[in-house]
Amino acid sequence: MADQGTHSRRSLAYAHEDFVGAISAITQKRLDVLALHTATIGLGELAAMFEELDSGTTEHTKVLVDPRR
C-alpha cells in the first residue's frame, strides 16, 4: 500500500479486570475456547492462510501456527 499522506493509528488496551473476567469465564466453562480454535498450520501454509483470512470469506476464527509442522 502506497503512502498517500494519510496515516491511521489504532490502539487497543485491556485492563487487568478484562483478563480476570476472561479467565474466570474460561475456568467456569462459560466460554468454550476450544470452539474458537479452527486450525493449526505449519509455516509453509502461513502465506496461503493469510490470503484466506484476508479474503473475508474464511470460516476460521483462531489459527495457531506450529513451526514443527
Residue-wise pLDDT tens digits, 7-35 = 667 667 889 999 999 999 999 999 888 88
Does residue 3 carry a pLDDT above 60? no
Determine the Cα–Cα distance for residues 62 and 22; give it in Å rounded to an integer: 16
State the pTM of this model.
0.59
Average pLDDT over residues 32-56: 94
What is the reported pLDDT for 2?
54
Residues whose CB falls within 8 Å of the CB of residue 22, separated by 6 or more in sequence, listed in order: 31
- Tell me the domain boundaries of the chain: 35-69
Determine the Cα–Cα distance for residues 65 and 48; give it in Å rounded to an integer: 12
Residue 65 contacts residue 37 (beta carbons within 8 Å): no
Q: Which residue has the higher pLDDT, 3 or 8?
A: 8
